[in-house]
Each structure stands twice: as structure tokens, then as C-alpha cells.
């Protein structure tokens, strides 16, 4: 073995490494971020890099994933490339970044629109904003010989006098006493106390600052997704969203889904790197929001995280090992209040971290948050929440009962496992229309297209189906369409030509992509259908469906029904709510009673384990069709398809 | 400046130091403990060491403090000696150690006798033992597919099922979750939870251990005295005292009393060394108790500290600076619950530290603890607590009202400022009787005498007075007594001859010692008298007096009255209760309701500032007499003195 130098561009960061080392690992150790959805298996093809100088040794998988042209240009997959004896220079294209903060600094506030709506459709009955941490400005009368209360009692007295709304059993955290005497006198008895309103406990003064800092009280809502992490900065005084940032969960380098991450965590020492990775991702997002909004890190006083049960465990540094094996037991579903700093998250040293309560090992705090945001737990009508993430979770119920289940959807709707898939970031194609040979599309931020986000993928499949370019099983049936080509025996549809795109390469959807997406939507639909069946209900019994997920700003409901992702009920009964997990986390940040409601939601929700249900596989297989093998379940889709067939040319191979 | 080597014996520890450095500082930096009550002023004479090799340069103060013979033998004061250009070897005699743990490993359980009594006379009405931290053994049913509660909820459920006495709002501290899954399974679902019962809050699980450790639940009661620190190890299951250890407060090297320590703390960076010093002293005592009782440090789950307000501040690392200057404001009088580990105290990493609540800047938690132990706050009779420490504190009251004051007594009754004074450690003379020329005495532990503890000093002054060896102003009046000699113009009485003592040197009491003691007792008595006067009361109104302090195992009440330390009321109404501060701390450790009572005691006690009272100086001066200038105040003492004068020879110079 010899030592070689690897230079990563465009950063121009150099690293020394041993020959034989994998390029992706050298990058990771050097702090260079490369997308790695499949955990280095050579499957996702997301870690495409170009070798500009020197040579690496790569496995056969690279040949399956890259085109001849790409190979000729020097492209390879970082996870499948080993260093040899020569120094190398590597160029990492923007789309191979998992943590591309710069690109997403204007992360589609898409979901935010729905989030601000969440107050309207979710928690109308809620009291006014009462955030987890509130700041109060106090002007204390200086002590005299006849008014010689201690510094701390003087603060308590002032709170009692001027803030009767704060329970008098308020206590200061002991750390507030350190340096207090000096702080009070230096600031002429004008201070700001940060009060943490704890559930069922006396409120606690968690910080004391000099002067009036009440205007600087911020909270962070975190959607800890398996694939994508979204962080939102909230002004705790007003409830206003100051900004949101998203990034791939950098745990992805250790595995794409929760199962592979659990396996990694439970092998020797694997928990720490996974814990570090998620903390790193969240902290980078917080950092970026802090910088962009010109606030101080110590003005973040409260954080609320919503994630699935495994993500919560990995965030808090808890072993998820027993979640994976029967009887599937998490360390906790409801988590005590953590101190953000003790966990390793940024913010004020005494900032509090609440995790949204989970229901079971496979239905997490993101779902309790989602139900909270939709408010379905408060309404008499029977409604469903369908949250399509890497895991698909479905909740059905009303103000009297709630049942839920989980189904493995995969990351397809977040851009994973799709050749040109991407998250809903600027440049992502979010809408597609195919009118004969003409394709029109819209990108987020009206930028040159970069890839396909979830909503575009749904549009595409629906359009391809309606135009007869693919059949109901997802196979390409119109191979002579001018936008269809076959690469390495796999047909694909060109959405945007090379000259239109940001990267100068065409954006396509392949038959494999369609097949992946059908599996994803099939898993979701099968779960909805089976859950309804166990309740002795059908699609028509749902008076409302809330659809949540990171599809993008807009989700075409009709097209989602057409491909069989959503049940075929009148489209006005279906509402796309975007990132409901984040919305719920924000509500809990802004209202202690909302957090309490989430706990009650989680504790009264009944989890139904579908993976062991004897009928699940049948339902799944029946759903691997566009929209479904039982077309009578999808009357409107059936009608639309029949209508189209009449006016459109018959498919070449139909 | 040159570098020289200093070797300290008998440790044989060598240190390098610069010429010009003070010997006591070199010792301190090398971890060699030398007594230093006066803070290096050359006043207390406690840092006497012998230079066996080489030479040091010493100040004139040494000549005033040491005899010619001592100087010839090579003795000097470490605080007054500077290194020169030669290497030196220094021998430190045992009595010059401030932190002589070995000597006091059998620290007179003196006070403990009274402490166990405290339960009888103090808190009869108390509920059974309900310590701050309790351990509960749980055998959890292992989870199954049909009983799939999370690990944490499983623990909560078991507590609800088997321990209905624990409020169901119990919460686990977040740190308990780390590693919990593995801990439960490794220990076959048998665990011990440590529950911290918090005042007004839900109880908290602060630790979870594998197996059954309920037998190992210990608490530590700490009397944080200005001069002496006493630590007691308590079995929290039974309330039994397993041992006690005492040591000089190693803060003494920075000053003898709270005023000089406050000054030191508030000069640049002085707080940290004072904080370190008291932590070091307490931790060394805890260590010693842990070793001696063969327990594990992590089995200490709760600590309660009782100290005056300044000591509390220095223990917790809080600036005491505003206590010293008008309007004398402490950072806090009632302290939040601290985590012992965050403060720097030994014990379980999550052990809790409660500090007994203080009344004001000059009446501390030691006094609230003392009142709690005596139970005077629960009885209708008017009683007084007189606590003689470095500060003398007096509380008068009953179950309806409590007033208190403070008076600077100095360390004389704890052996400070007295040439042969010592704390109540084995070898200390604790009782003295003088019958004409014959002196009899008893030592603690029946060992060869080492010095005079508080009770012996009271005996001695009383006996010297009754025998006419000193007069009522404390002057030696019988200079031709065979046991009286004059050294450097100061007369002294030989209590034990050189050949009887441990150190081969006579144990004496000097006229200066007597003068110091009269000032100490005068300060206490003046405060009692003036406090009564402000209440429009006299000595006779006191139905009970509790006397507390580190005098030793026994305090002769009659002799204490005779010298005017205690008011002249029928002696059966006076009870010596030893270390009531420690007793109160132990009660608070064993009962959350006792701690709550202490808080109520502190909050309803009225502090009267005597130092600014126009009559205080007159009362003090009137008390600088044995027993008092107004002999009618001390009728029994007056009668005793008159009786004695008739039978004993008339004093030579009377």
C-alpha cells in the first residue's frame, strides 16, 4: 500500500489516503459531501463523480449505472472506485451532493404555505401562542437595606408582580445562578429571563440575560426524515416562519432506509457515527438559518423534532436494536425533555429539545405531528392522513378513534432510486404536461431544470399512461415516440433535452424508474386499502384525505388518483398538506397545549401491523398496476383512460 | 532568582521552586497540607514547621509566635518563610496539618449521639423515612408481540402497578435512556430505579441500574462550616449513620473567616480557588467514608449541605461579593436543586444536591437546619438555639414566630486562635478539672493529649476562675501557682506537662487565649441579651436553650454559665445538641417533608441585624467579663464564686 493524494474539486480540498481506499470514504473523511443513498452498494448511482487526473479502479457496477459516453468522459461512481498508486483529481458535480446547502438555501417554502394554513385547518380551537420557551423582560428595583431580598428571590417577586400568568411555583435552573450577582448589577437590574413551560411541571427559568432580549426568541422545528431533513426557524414571539432549509440526511451514507441503518447502528460502534451524522446535518441547517437570518445561536431557546421512531432513537443516541427484531420494542415512544446541548444540537446552551411522541416502533412522532397539524383528531368526520416518505404511514380516524399502519414506500417520491430524481429544490421540475410530442414543464424557482421531484414524477407517469407511452403495468409500449430512446436495453422518456438542462444532460424517466414508482405507490395504496378493510370500510367512507410528503409545492390530485397512489374519491375531499410532520413540530413549538395534544394523539392511536397480515402481499400485488388491477375501484381513472384512448392514437404495441 | 529543591517530610515529597517563594505556597502547590487559619498573615501560628536542612528567610512575626527554644530547634512559620538560594528539607509536625484525615478517621461521633437523639427531640411528628432519593427494584415482564410497550413505558407501568405510593406523573431523566435497551436485556428485565422525590414537582427517575441494588442507597449530610467541615454517611433505607468524618475547611488557607474569604473571592479570580478548596475538602471526606464503609461512590444518590450563606455560595461557585457590602445581598437564599456532579461533588453522576435554605446574608442554611433538628419551630414554648461556630448565631422563637441574629464569635471554640487549641478529634482534651495544684483531664479516645477542644477550654476558664488563678477580667492573678509560668511576658497555665503529651511539648492556655475566648463568649452573650431585649424579654423568659457547636462530645452547662457563655437559667432547661446543622441536614436527607419544613423555617424567620444596633457595642463590652459586669444577671454564678472564695485561698493579687 502506498499513500496518494486526492484532490476534490471544485473545493480544491486535498487529502492523503492509502491506495485501496474507497473514494467515497476518503471524501467523507475529508468533509466532502457526496450523495450516497444506497450506502455504498453501487445501486442508487447518486455518487457519480468525474476523475480529471490520475486513475482509479472501479467495479463492474459502474458500467451498469453509467452510459458509455459518461465512462468515456471519465465519470465513475465514488462508492465503487478504489484508489490505486496514482494521485487523483476528482470533480464532484452539483447533483452528486447530498448536503447541498447552497443550492437549497431557498428551499421551497412549498410546504410552508400549507404550514401557515395548518393553523387554520388544524388547531383553530387552540389558545394563543404559548411557546415552549418564552422570554420576559424584567426591570428589578435595586435592593436596599429595607428591601434586601436575594437576587433570585427578587427575580421571583418581579415575575409574581408583573406576570401573574406564570405559575408562582416557577424555579430557576441551577446554572442560572452562576454569575447572576454580577450580571444583575452590570445591567442595572434590567434582565431578560427565558422561561421553559414544562408539561405538568412548574415552569423553569432556563436562562437569564442582561438587558432586553425579548425580541430575540427563536425556535427550531425539525422534520427528521429518513431521506431528507428539514429545519424551520420560527419566531417564537409571533409564530412567523423566518426560513426553512432542507438537506439529505447524511446518515444515508450508512444505508438508505431505517432497516439498514438499524443494522449498521447495532454492529459494533455503529450508533455513534449515525448519531453524529444526523446531528451534523441538523446543525449545518441550523447554522445556515442562523447566518441567513442574522440571529445569534444562543437566541434559539427551543427545538422540537418530529421523526419516525428509529430516527428519534438515532438523534438522541439511543440504541434502535430492539426495534428491528421481534417483538420490535423501542427504548421509548414518549421521550423525556432533553437538553439540546446534551444531545449535541446547536442553540442556547440551555435550549430544550422536545421530541414528538411516537406511537410504536414503526409509527413515529412525524405521524403524531402530522395528525396534530391536520387536526383530524378533533373532527367528527372520518378522515385519513397519508404521509408518503421513505416509509408510508397511514392514519384513519376522527375525534373518537385513530388507527394507523406503516408501509415501506422507499425514497422514490423524494427523488431516491429514480435516475433523474431530486428533492423539491430550486431547479427541480415540479409539473409536467405531455401533449402528443410536445412536453411542457415548470421548475421550482423557474430555473434551468435539474431533475424530477415527486410531483413531477406523478405527473409524468400519469401523462405517459394517458398518452399510451407506458401501459398499465408501467412497461414502455410506444417505443417509436420521438422522446423515447433505449439505453442499455432500458427504454426511457426524455423529459428535457440536454441543451435545456442545468447540467447539459437530458432529464429522463426510465422504465426502471416507473417500476420503482409503481412499487412505492403500490405499497401505500395496499396499506390504505387493507387498513380500511380491517375497519370494515372502503375508500368511499373517507370523508377527507390529507396527503403529506415531500412531493414538492403542488401535487396534482387527479393525476395521483389516476396512477393509483390515492384512492379514487371526489378530488375536493383530498387535500395536499405538504410536510405535515414539520407543521406539527412547529405547532408544538408554539404551543405547550399542542404538544400535550400530540401526546394524547400518540397514546390513543392504535397501531396495526400490516407486514404480518396474511392479505398484505395480495393487496400489494394487486396495486402494482396503474391505477390498480381492480379498475372498478378507480371509476374516475377508468373513465378518464377510456376517454383518452378514444381520442388519442392507439399505442403501437397495445 | 534561582531554582531550589524543597523536600517535605515525612512525605518525602520534593518540589522545585524559585527562591523568594513562600514555603506555605510551595507546600500548597505540591499538595502538601499545612494549617493556615489566618490566611498567611503570621497571626494564628498554626503553620509551624521545622527546617531540617538548608536555610529560609523568615519575618519578625515568627519571633513573636515561637519560643526561643523552638527557634533554636529550627522551627519557623511556613507562611512567614521565604526560600533563599539553598535547597531545604522541611518537617511538618502532625498538629500543623489542616486536613489531617488520618487523625480524625474516628472523628468523635460526639455529635452523632445527639444527632440520633435529634429524631426524638426534633421531628417526632414526622412521617416515616422518605429520603430524597429512593431505590425501587423492578422485575419487568419481558415484552411480547401482544405486550409491546416501549422499554420506558414498561418501567412506568411496573412502577404504577407495584408502587402506587409513587405519583404517576413520574418522569425519567433523559440520560436514563442512553443504553437502556441493552441494560434491560442484559439484566433479564431486572433493574433498580433511583427515584428523586422533588418538592412540588413530579418525581424523577434519575438513574437505572441492572439487578437489585436497593440495599446500596446512601446519602451524605454535609456541615459546611467556615472552619470545620463534617460529612456524614447515611444509609437512606434505614436512616442509620454509617460514619462521619471531619476536616478543616481547606479554604482556611485563603482566610480565617467569611469576610476575608469574601474579599479573596472577589479579587480577580479568587472564587475558583475557594470553590475548589471546599470541594476538595468535602470530596476527600466522602472518599474516605466510601473507602472505610466499602461502598461504591455511585451508590451515593443524594447529598444535603448545610452551611452559612457565604459557604453555600462558595460551595456552589456563586460570587459572594454582594453579601459583603451594603445592602448585603446574596445571589440566593433558597437554592434550586443542583446536580452534585455539575457542582463538582462526588457521588452518583446523577446524584442530587440540596442546600439547606438560608435566611439572610448572615444567617445561613446551617441555622435553618439547626432549628429543624431541635424542633423549636413546632413547639409552643419559647426557646433559643445558640449555635457557636466561627459565627455565633442565635434563634429565639416557637411554633408561631422565629427571630434570629448573627454575631462574629471567631474560631476560638473550635480550637482556632488558641495556642494549644484543636478540634474535637481523638487526643483532644475534652474535660479538665483543677483541684488546687492537681490537674485532671480526659481526652477523646483516651489517647495521649494533643490539644484543647472547645469543651475543655470552657472547663479550664471556669476552673481557673474558681481557683482564683485568673480574675473576672481574664487576667492571670495567681502567678506563683506551680502550673503558671510566664513566657515572653505572657502568663500561661500548664494543663499537661511535656512528658504527658503526644508531641512532647506542654499543653497550655495563655492569658491571650483567655482574652480571645472572653471576646468570643462575649460576642455570643451580647447577641443573646440584645436579641431578647428587642423582644422585650429577659433570660428568664427562655423555657429552653439548645446549645449547638463543635465543642466536643460533652459541654459542661454549669461551667458555661459560670464563664458567661450561656444565660444563667436553670441548667435542666439547657440542652447541648452538638452539631445541629449536620443533624438537620441528615433529617432533610431522610425526609422530603423535613426539607420542606426547613424552607418554611427559613422563610418565616425574621433576621435582626445587630451589628448596626446602637446598643450592641455596650452589650459586648459589658460581656467581656467572667461571667458579666452585671453579676445580678448571673445569680447562680455569683453564688458559686462567692462560695468558692470562702473555702479557697485568697488570690495573691486580688
Of B181, B321, B336, the CB nearest to A174: B336
Asked if A318's CB is within 8 angstroms of B182's CB, the reply is: no
Distance between CA atoms of residues B103 and B464, nearest Å: 30
- For the segment(s) A218-362, the CATH number from 3.30.420.480, 3.40.50.300, 3.50.50.60, 3.20.20.70 is 3.30.420.480
**What pLDDT score does A359 carry?**
92
Residue B437's pLDDT is: 79
Per-residue model confidence as pLDDT tens digits over A174-204: 999 999 999 999 999 999 999 999 876 789 9
Cβ distance A318 to B180 less than 8 Å, yes or no, reads yes
Closest alpha carbon within chain B to A184: B331
For an interface test with B, the pick among A176, A309, A333, A336 (most B C-beta atoms closer than 10 Å) comes out as A336
Give the chain B residue nearest A354 (alpha carbons): B174
Q: What is the mean pLDDT of residues A123-141?
A: 78
Please tell me the predicted confidence (pLDDT) of residue B125: 40
Confidence tier at B119 by pLDDT (50, 70, 90):
very low
Per-residue pLDDT, averaged over A56-82, amounts to 87
Per-residue model confidence (pLDDT) at position A600: 93
At A36, the pLDDT band (50, 70, 90 cuts) reads low
Residue A601 has pLDDT above 90, yes or no: yes
- B 334-353 → A contacts, CB under 8 A: 334-339, 342
The predicted-structure confidence for B391-400, as pLDDT tens digits, reads as follows: 889 999 999 9
Asked whether the bond before B10 is cis by omega within 30 degrees of 0, the reply is: yes
Q: Are B194 and B204 in contact (CB under 8 A)?
A: no
Interface test with A, best of B318, B354, B602 (most A CBs within 10 A): B318
Q: Do A151 and B327 touch (CB under 8 A)?
A: no
Question: Least CA distance to A353: which residue of chain B?
Answer: B174
Cα separation, A295 vs A287, whole angstroms: 10
Contact residues on chain A for B333, CB-CB shorter than 8 A = 150, 152-153
DSSP assignment of A3-40 equals EEEEEEETTTEEEEEETT-BHHHHHHHTT-----TTSS
More confident residue, A151 or A22: A151
Give me the percent of chain A exceeding a pLDDT of 70: 92
Tell me which residue in A172, A181, A337 faces B322 most closely, judged by beta carbons.
A181
Q: Which of residues 97-156 of A touch B (CB under 8 A)?
A: 143-145, 147-153
The H-assigned helical ranges of A293-419 are 309-316, 321-324, 340-343, 365-374
What global pTM score does this model have? 0.80
Nearest C-alpha of chain A: how many angstroms from B192? 17
**A318/B149 Cβ within 8 A:** no
**B-contacting residues in A 356-395 (Cβ below 8 Å):** 360-361
Q: B111 pLDDT exceeds 50?
A: no
User: B interface mutation test: which of A141, A148, A406 has the most B CBs within 10 A?
Assistant: A148
Which of A179, A336, A361 shows the shortest C-beta gap to B319? A179
pLDDT in tens, A513-549: 999 999 999 999 999 999 999 999 999 999 999 999 8
φ and ψ of A644, to 5 deg: -60, -45
Helices (H) and strands (E) in chain A, counts: 19, 29
What is the spatial distance between Cα A607 and Cα A401, in angstroms, rounded to a whole number?
Answer: 11
Residue A127 has pLDDT above 60, yes or no: no
**Nearest chain B alpha carbon to A198:** B201
Question: Distance between CA B181 and CA A330 in Å, rounded?
Answer: 8
Instruction: Give the per-residue pLDDT at A519.
Output: 93
Average pLDDT over residues B341-368: 94
> A429 φ, ψ to 5°?
-75, 125
Of residues B631, B579, B599, B610, the one with CA closest to residue B221: B579
Query: What's the whole-number mean pLDDT along residues B2-18?
Result: 87
Q: Which three cell numbers stand for residue A108?
A: 421551497
Residue A321 touches partner B, C-beta closer than 8 Å: yes
Per-residue pLDDT of B546-583, as tens digits, reads 999 877 777 899 999 999 999 999 999 999 888 889 98
| Domain A132-210 part of CATH 3.40.1160.10 | no
Model pLDDT, residue B162 = 94
* Structure confidence by residue, pLDDT tens digits, B201-247: 789 999 999 999 999 999 999 999 988 899 999 999 988 889 888 88
Model confidence at B122: pLDDT above 80? no
| Measured distance CA(A631)–CA(A37) in Å, rounded | 35
Nearest residue of B to residue A320, measured between CA atoms: B181
Nearest to B150 among A169, A316, A331 (CB): A331
Task: List strand residue ranges (DSSP E) for B389-443, in order.
Answer: 391-397, 402-408, 428-435, 438-443
Closest CA in chain B for residue A335: B174
Weakest mean pLDDT among B176-190, B217-231, B418-432: B418-432
Distance from CA of A181 to the nearest CA of B (A): 6
Q: Which of B154, B331, B357, B365 to mutate to test the interface with A (most CBs of A within 10 A)?
A: B331
DSSP string, B264-333: HHHSTT-HHHHHHHHHHHHHHHHHHHHHHTT--GGGEEEEEEEE-HHHHHHHHT---HHHHSTT---S-S
pLDDT of residue B121: 37
Say yes or no: B319 contacts chain A, CB-CB below 8 A: yes
Q: Which pLDDT value is given to residue B648?
A: 52
- pLDDT at position B102 is 28
Using one digit for the tens of pLDDT, what is the confidence trace for A448-473? 898 998 899 999 999 999 999 999 99
CATH code given to domain B3-96: 3.10.20.30
* β-sheet with A507-510: strand ranges across: A484-487, A490-496, A507-510
For residue B280, give how far its alpha carbon lies from the nearest alpha carbon of chain A (Å).
Answer: 19
Are B182 and A319 in contact (CB < 8 Å)?
A: yes
Residues in chain B with CB shorter than 8 Å from the CB of A147 are 327
> Does position A122 have pLDDT exceeding 50, yes or no?
no
Q: Which of A169, A177, A317 sits opposite B316 (nearest CB)?
A: A177
Which residue of chain A has the CA closest to B325? A145
Q: Considering only CB atoms, which chain A residues are within 8 Å of B151?
A: 322, 329-332
B132-210 and B3-96 share a CATH fold: yes
Contact (CB, 8 A) for B236 and B219: yes
What distance in Å separates the CA atoms of residue B81 and residue B617, rounded to the nearest whole number? 38
Q: Do A329 and B152 touch (CB under 8 A)?
A: no
Q: Kindly report the number of other CB atoms within 10 A of residue A331's CB atom.
A: 27
Nearest to B336 among A171, A327, A339 (CB): A171
Cα B197 to the center of its chain, rounded Å: 28
Q: Provide the grid cell at B361.
A: 446574608
Tell whether A268 lies on the interface with B, counting CB pairs under 8 A: no
A338: nearest CA partner in chain B: B174
Q: Where are the alpha helices (DSSP H) in B403-485?
A: 454-466
For A263-267, the CB contacts below 8 A with 24+ separation are: A263/A324, A264/A39, A265/A314, A265/A319, A265/A320, A265/A321, A266/A319, A266/A320, A266/A321, A266/A324
Q: Please, which residues have CB within 8 angstroms of residue A380's CB and are 6 or more apart in sequence? A: A398, A399, A400
Give the pLDDT confidence score for residue B435 in this predicted structure. 85
Q: Are A501 and A492 in contact (CB under 8 A)?
A: no
| B134–chain A nearest CA distance, Å | 20
**Mapping DSSP to helix (H, G, I), strand (E, B) and coil, where does residue A652 land?**
coil
Q: What is the pLDDT of residue B128?
A: 63
Three cell numbers written together for B54: 538548608
Test mutation, B150, B154, B308, chain A, max A CBs within 10 A: B150
Distance CA B186, CA B204 (A): 24
pLDDT at A103 over 60: no
Q: How far is residue A460's CA from residue B597's CA, in Å, rounded to a whole number?
A: 73
Asked if the Cβ–Cβ distance from B152 to A360 is below 8 Å, we say no
Query: CB distance from A421 to chain B under 8 Å?
Result: no
Spatial distance between the Cα atoms of A81 and B446, rounded to a whole number of angstroms: 83
Distance from CA of B252 to the nearest CA of A (A): 23
Pairs of CB atoms within 8 A across A/B: 137
Query: Which residue of A175, A329, A338, A599 to mutate against B (max B Cβ within 10 Å)?
Result: A329
- Mean pLDDT, residues A385-402 taken together: 92
Instruction: Tell me what pLDDT residue B36 has.
Output: 67
Domain coordinates in residue numbering, chain B = 3-96, 132-210, 218-362, 366-410+526-637, 412-517
The owner of cell 423539491 is: A424
Which runs of E-coded beta strand occur in A290-359?
A: 300-307, 338-339, 352-355
- pLDDT of residue B650 exceeding 80, the answer is no
User: Strand A544-549 vs strand A383-388: parallel, antiparallel, or unpaired?
Assistant: parallel
Mean pLDDT of chain A: 87
Q: What is the pLDDT of residues B289-310, one digit of tens each?
A: 999 899 999 999 999 999 999 9
Which residues of chain A have a CB within 8 Å of the CB of B185? 322
Helix (H) or strand (E) holding B18: strand B13-18
Instruction: Using an 8 Å CB-CB cutoff, list chain B residues near A317.
Output: 178
User: Is A199 at the interface with chain B, CB within 8 A?
Assistant: no
Which grid cell is B185? 436485556
Instruction: For chain B, say whether A611 makes contact (Cβ under 8 Å).
Output: no
Q: Does B272 touch chain A (CB under 8 A)?
A: no
Q: B151 and A202 in contact by Cβ < 8 A?
A: no
pLDDT for residue A116: 40
What is the band of B108 on the pLDDT scale with cuts at 50, 70, 90? Answer: very low
Measure Cα distances from A630 to A286, A474, A516, A633, A638 in Å.
Answer: 47, 16, 20, 6, 10
Q: Tell which of A331, A351, A353 to mutate to test the B interface (max B CBs under 10 Å).
A: A331
Amino acid at each position: 500500500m502506498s499513500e496518494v493524494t486526492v484532490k476534490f474539486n471544485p473545493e480544491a480540498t486535498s487529502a492523503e489516503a492509502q491506495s485501496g481506499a474507497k473514494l467515497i470514504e476518503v471524501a467523507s473523511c475529508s468533509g466532502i459531501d457526496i450523495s450516497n443513498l444506497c450506502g455504498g452498494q453501487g445501486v442508487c448511482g447518486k455518487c457519480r463523480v468525474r476523475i480529471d487526473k490520475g486513475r482509479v479502479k472501479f467495479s463492474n457496477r459502474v458500467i451498469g449505472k453509467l452510459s458509455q459516453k459518461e465512462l468515456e468522459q471519465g465519470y465513475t461512481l465514488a462508492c465503487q472506485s478504489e484508489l490505486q498508486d496514482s494521485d487523483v483529481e476528482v470533480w464532484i458535480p452539483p447533483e452528486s451532493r447530498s448536503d447541498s446547502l447552497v443550492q437549497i438555501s431557498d428551499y421551497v417554502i412549498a410546504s410552508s404555505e400549507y404550514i401557515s394554513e395548518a393553523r387554520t385547518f388544524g388547531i383553530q380551537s387552540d389558545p394563543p401562542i404559548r411557546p415552549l420557551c418564552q422570554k420576559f423582560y424584567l426591570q428589578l428595583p435595586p435592593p436596599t437595606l429595607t428591601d434586601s431580598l436575594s437576587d433570585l428571590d427578587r427575580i421571583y417577586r418581579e415575575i409574581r408582580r408583573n406576570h401573574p400568568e406564570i405559575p408562582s411555583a416557577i424555579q430557576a435552573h441551577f446554572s442560572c445562578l452562576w454569575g447572576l450577582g454580577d450580571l444583575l448589577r452590570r445591567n442595572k437590574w434590567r434582565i431578560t429571563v427565558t422561561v421553559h413551560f414544562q408539561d405538568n411541571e412548574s415552569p423553569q427559568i432556563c436562562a437569564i440575560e442582561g438587558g432586553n432580549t425579548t425580541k430575540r426568541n427563536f425556535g427550531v422545528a425539525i422534520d427528521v426524515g429518513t431521506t431528507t431533513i428539514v429545519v424551520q426557524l420560527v419566531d417564537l414571539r409571533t409564530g412567523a416562519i423566518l426560513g426553512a432549509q432542507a438537506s439529505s440526511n447524511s446518515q444515508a451514507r450508512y444505508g438508505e432506509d431505517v432497516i439498514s441503518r438499524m443494522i449498521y447502528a447495532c454492529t459494533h460502534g455503529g450508533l455513534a457515527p449515525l448519531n453524529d451524522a444526523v446531528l451534523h446535518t441538523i446543525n449545518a441547517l441550523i447554522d445556515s438559518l442562523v447566518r441567513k437570518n442574522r440571529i445569534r445561536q444562543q437566541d434559539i431557546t427551543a427545538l422540537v423534532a418530529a421523526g419516525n421512531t428509529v430516527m428519534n432513537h438515532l438523534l438522541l443516541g439511543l440504541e434502535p436494536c430492539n426495534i428491528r427484531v421481534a417483538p420490535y420494542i423501542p427504548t421509548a415512544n414518549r421521550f423525556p425533555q432533553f437538553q439540546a446541548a446534551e444531545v449535541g444540537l446547536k442553540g442556547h446552551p440551555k435550549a430544550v429539545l422536545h421530541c414528538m411522541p411516537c406511537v410504536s416502533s414503526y409509527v413515529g412522532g412525524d405521524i403524531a405531528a402530522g395528525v396534530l397539524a391536520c387536526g383530524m383528531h378533533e373532527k367528527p368526520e372520518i378522515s385519513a392522513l397519508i404521509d408518503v416518505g421513505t416509509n408510508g404511514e397511514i392514519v384513519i380516524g376522527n375525534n373518537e378513534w385513530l388507527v394507523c399502519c406503516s408501509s415501506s414506500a422507499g425514497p422514490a417520491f423524494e427523488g431516491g432510486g429514480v435516475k433523474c430524481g431530486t428533492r423539491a429544490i430550486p431547479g427541480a421540475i415540479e409539473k409536467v404536461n405531455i401533449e402528443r410530442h410536445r412536453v411542457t414543464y415548470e421548475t421550482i424557482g423557474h430555473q434551468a431544470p435539474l431533475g424530477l421531484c415527486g410531483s413531477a414524477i406523478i405527473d409524468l407517469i400519469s401523462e405517459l399512461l394517458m398518452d399510451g407511452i407506458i401501459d398499465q403495468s408501467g412497461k414502455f409500449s410506444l417505443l417509436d415516440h420521438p422522446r423515447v430512446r433505449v439505453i442499455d436495453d432500458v427504454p426511457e422518456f426524455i423529459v428535457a433535452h440536454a441543451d435545456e438542462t442545468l447540467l447539459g444532460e437530458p432529464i429522463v424517466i426510465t422504465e426502471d424508474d416507473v417500476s420503482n414508482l409503481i412499487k412505492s405507490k403500490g405499497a401505500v395504496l395496499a396499506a390504505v386499502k387493507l387498513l380500511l378493510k380491517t375497519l370494515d370500510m372502503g375508500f368511499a367512507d373517507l370523508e377527507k384525505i390529507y396527503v403529506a410528503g415531500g412531493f414538492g409545492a403542488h401535487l396534482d390530485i387527479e393525476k395521483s388518483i389516476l396512477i393509483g397512489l390515492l384512492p379514487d374519491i371526489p378530488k375536493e375531499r383530498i387535500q395536499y398538506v405538504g410536510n405535515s410532520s414539520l407543521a406539527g413540530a412547529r405547532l408544538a413549538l408554539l404551543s405547550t397545549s399542542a404538544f400535550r395534544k400530540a401526546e394524547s394523539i400518540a397514546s390513543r392511536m392504535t397501531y396495526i401491523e400490516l407486514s404480518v397480515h396474511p392479505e398484505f402481499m395480495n393487496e400489494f400485488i394487486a396495486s402494482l398496476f396503474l391505477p390498480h388491477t381492480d379498475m372498478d375501484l378507480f371509476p374516475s381513472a377508468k373513465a378518464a383512460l377510456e376517454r383518452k384512448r378514444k381520442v388519442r392514437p392507439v399505442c403501437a404495441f397495445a
